[in-house]
Structure 1
């Protein structure tokens, strides 16, 4: 045992000095106090880092690509009455959802203030929810042979020699005209529309230069495609997607697609999650060119995003983020007024088009503490050791300077 003690003493890295050999100075006391204060500040900062919750993103392949995608939309058109506005969705599979304003969305008439400017805060109390989407075969369902009942005229837009089709209301006649590729205009001289007051109501709204605000949610497949707002009833004819522009063209400069996007999100909107602001990149974004023959395009890159929280009381949230590129051009084409070297294509139809591209990847944002417990302890020890080492060097330098000054005075 006696031999073990000298061996342990020989490897002692913390050799002690004799108490009588230590010299205490006033400058050393001041430096010690400064070091203690600095150590306390650093320990507090380490603790703040340890308790801070951050979100770390991780990129993975999206395994939920087959799940439908919700689009939450709130958009205002300042110079477009609700009666002639339609919304269609087309994807790369060739599927077309015609006039989906008939399902999941609501239209609200926007009035004008005393100066003739649109005022989104003043909405007509008579909101205009649109009926569920149905095909022309159901709307214009005819009478079976020998069956008695009302069978309104389709004015030649559909065959009625055997009453196989019946147009008993204005909406059915309007859709029949679209199927036939005829201009419906404002429905004047069509008995069903005159009787329902559609013609009078439409003329009043056009004269008042009303706008339209559309709010709601629709669900689409996670396939790249487009969503377009355009005037008049829409129909697919001979492989082409067309709109009835008869009334839009008739009214001259009364209509245009100047607009503001109040809100556009995909999926559930995260609240209070870090990075959630990236899901609102088009909120309150608008375009105003005051040109009726103009098309506005938005190219969206949608990426699925999942938020995972530390708190057990919060459930994981699946949503979507998107980036966007905007573009607009006149239908007549030609050189861009601002960029003379840019030449726009010619053709198309007026409206607002959202082109969306769905990414096959997914971002997972996991909440976690900025530091682990071991990282916190290591940071505290490093802070203390570093400050004491610097303090020791500073104390030795100050002491050496004091001794040099003292020796000169003694001389």
Structure 2
């Protein structure tokens, strides 16, 4: 199943944003970047560059042939170019993440100081980020989320290193604007979306998905947004296309998905819920935006038909009148025959 997204974060830079996908089948996609474009934004929200700041731009390419970087107590990551060594600052960060250690600004780490990691990190603190592209996920219950810092699994838990996000004076928050979020290909603009349970009585067109062009603002760093999405399979059958295909998929039909959504947001510091005066929110959690999706067993079929003309309307009226007269004649004939039979029985 394809997910198309376009989301802007005005108060957190691209280098601090991580996109992960998890589902109930056990598949985990960490730090997704394939099919995703990150655009750096100025503090005013203007695009800067499609290229993210390279925090490791100053990697030394001419180290001594026998050089083997220290991993500072952590096992060397498999991604390192030299087995058993941490040749770059990125290697040290990966080594720390693999065993669940937090990584600070790289002070005292030879590789990070050589690459000016902290200086590059500080240079983009006030930037924002736009993330757009496509995700491929399994068609099972799961979630994808945007959270700060490197992610890793520890003791059956999925966690993020929040040091670079929390331990700074920069005004980082997860205020965001969702330009577009859709599942599957787009239906033609003129096709209205049938009401589904969560949206009954609220008709809208497929080109306007429930979360399209929505914004949420917060002034808290430790804040979490959760969207609970119910995905419904949908077929659009143009004129002349039948849904009686032998394999269940009509040739020429558009197979896509619609969805309904509910949402909840809370401060990770806990306390009173601003939306529900009698509710108390628990403390703890990961700041970020979480999209949990569930697959509905239903399927909606949009079948395109020709609009009825005035001649067709008259034909329908005539058909109704003709049918009524035919039934009346049959009833009358039946009653007449019945009366005759009864008379004959009495005469004999």
TM-score bracket relative to the smaller structure = 0.7 to 0.9
Match of 1:217 among 134, 143, 148: 134
Aligned pair in 2 of structure 1 residues 159, 267: CA closer, same or farther (>3 Å)? closer
Corresponding residue for residue 38 of structure 2: 107
- Which residue is equivalent to 2:199? none
- Is there any run of 5+ residues in structure 2 with no aligned partner, and where? 55-64, 194-204, 242-250, 321-348
Question: Rg: which structure is higher?
Answer: 1
Report the Cα distance in structure 2 between the residues aligned to 1:150 and 1:320, rounded to whole angstroms: 53
The answer for the alignment partner of 1:86 in structure 2 is 18
Q: Which has the higher mean CA deviation after the structures are superposed, 253-262 or 371-380?
A: 371-380
Q: CA RMSD of the aligned region, Å? A: 2.9
Is the contact between residue 38 and residue 50 of structure 2 (CA under 8 Å) also seen in structure 1? Answer: no
User: Which residue number in structure 2 is paired with residue 270 of structure 1?
Assistant: 187
Distance 1:197 1:379 in 2: 80
Q: Residue 273 of structure 1 contacts residue 307 of structure 1 at CA under 8 Å; is this kept in 2?
A: no
Q: Of residues 247, 255, 259 in structure 2, which corresponds to 1:322? A: 259
Kindly indicate whether residue 165 of structure 2 is the aligned counterpart of residue 234 of structure 1. Answer: no
Q: Secondary structure at the match of 2:124?
A: helix
Deviations 1:158-186 (A, max 9, x none): 159xx852222232221211112222123
Q: Deviations over 1:310-333 (max 9, x none)?
A: 167x93211110101011001122
Q: How does 1:2-401 map to 2 (within 5 A)?
A: 69-100=1-32, 102-113=33-44, 119=45, 122-128=46-52, 150-158=67-75, 164-206=83-125, 209-252=126-169, 254-275=171-192, 277-278=205-206, 280-310=209-239, 315-371=252-308, 375-379=312-316
Residue by residue over 1:343-380, the C-alpha shift from the partner in whole angstroms, topping out at 9 and shown as x without a partner, is 21221111110010111221111111244999534246
TM-score for the superposition, normalised by structure 2: 0.75
Kept in 1, the 8 Å contact 2:4–2:181? The answer is yes
The answer to which structure has the higher helix fraction is 1
The offset of 1:304, in angstroms, is 1.1
Work out the CA distance in 2 between the residues paired with 1:182 and 1:344.
Answer: 28
Question: 1:197 Cα deviation (Å)?
Answer: 4.0
CA distance in 1, matches of 2:316, 2:273: 59
User: Greater RCO between the two (CA within 8 Å, min separation 6)?
Assistant: 1
1: distance between equivalents of 2:75 and 2:124? 29
In structure 2, the CA distance between the partners of 1:368 and 1:155, relative to structure 1 (3 Å rule), is same
8 Å CA contact retained: 2:36, 2:134: yes
Question: Against the structure 1 CA distance between its residues 150 and 307, is the aligned structure 2 distance closer, same or farther, given a 3 Å change threshold?
Answer: farther
Please name the residue that 1:61 is paired with: none
3-state SS in 2 of match to 1:280: coil
How far 1:90 moved relative to its partner?
Answer: 1.0
- Deviation for aligned residue 1:305: 0.8
Deviation of residue 269 (structure 1)?
1.3
Greater CA drift, 189-198 or 232-241: 189-198
